[in-house]
Structure formats: structure tokens, C-alpha cells
Chains A and B, each alone.
Chain A
């Protein structure tokens, strides 16, 4: 158990819908990262937040957005969902803006 929690574990929805994935970092960690893992692309970095502020942006689509709240939990919002958005979404956290990242168990999103 890494100490990072993600909910829900599984999510099945239809194209065009919007979903929110939630992540609680390890106690004391200030930084949260979101990754998408698919069979063809592997694990891709989406976005990083540090103490509530966006720190780095990767291959995140405009239909996707994220935020980190004052209590340091984070949410990833995915809208206008497409079939190709089906993937595992992982959250990771680290103590500071760099250093070892601890991954949560992931949310498996299926878009039908």
C-alpha cells in the first residue's frame, strides 16, 4: 500500500459524458501527478500540481482538466469522453515538487 488512494477503482460511462477521478496523496506529500496508461501509449504524464498550483503539463488534452484543493487532494476531470479515452488513470504523489513518486492503485475508465 503506497498510501495514495484513488476513487473510483472502476468507471464505465458512455461517449460524450463527463467524469471526475479523485486522488488523495500520501500524508505530508505536497505534489500530485496524474498519468494515463493505455496499451498502445504506455504510461503518459498528464499534469502535476504542487501545493495547489499547477507545476508541469504533459500530454493532457484540452477536454481534460485537473485541480488540487487546499486539503491537497486532487481531481482529474475528463469531459466529452471518447472511446480512445478508455485507459488506466494513475495518481502519484511526492513530498516536494520532485523526488520519489508513490503511485495509487489507479482508476480504470471504460468509455462505451
Chain B
């Protein structure tokens, strides 16, 4: 069972367009992280959001954590070919049963063409 559902699964856009990807869950998380993964490499952390309703900006990327701490979104403004990659959201559990394991969504594969 996938705790985190990401949409869309694939996204192909042209350079300069804006986009939003979503990460939804029925579970509440203590925090949520967004990663970007390029082919042949491991995921790289972009941001961690902790507080419900929190908005964080990283240059052209805007991350939002839902008020109920169950969902998140990533908005990219004026996408560039260098933004191409797999975007993964991951929720951090609460209790000792899950330790501090990250529960990952399946990701959104983004392709930005010049």
C-alpha cells in the first residue's frame, strides 16, 4: 500500500511554463520532504516542511505543506531543462514502529524541453 500518492505521474512541458505537482495521503506526517532524483543517481533533498500550512521557497520552486499535514505541493515557475528529473515526496512517520523511515511516493517524472 502506497501511503503517499503523487500526481501527475508524468509531465512533459516546454521551457518557461509553470507547473504544480501534488503529493497526497490519508496519513498525517510529522514532516514531509521533497527530493529530486536524476537517472543513475540517488535522490537529493530539496526541502523539508514541518508546520501545517508552511510555505517554503527555493528560487523558482515553491513548496507547501497542507494545513492537516497530509498533503503537499511543489510549484515550479518558468521551468528550465535543468529541472528535468524525478520529483519524490516523502513523509516522515511519528512513532517507534516506523522509526524514522521515510515513506516515499512513486514520484512525478518531469521533462522540460527547450
Contacts and interface: CB of A to CB of B under 8 A. Distances in A.
Tell me whether chain A's interface is mostly helix, strand or loop, or mixed.
strand
A45 B42 contact: no
Interface of A: 2, 4, 31, 33, 35, 41-45, 48, 55-58, 90, 92, 94, 97-106
A56 B100 contact: yes
Contacts of B99: 48, 55-57, 97
Given A42-B107, A55-B99, A101 B2 contact: no
Interface of B: 2, 40-45, 48, 88, 90, 92, 96-107
B104 to A, nearest CB: 4
Contacts of A103: 42-44
A60 B2 CA distance: 15
B98 A90 contact: no
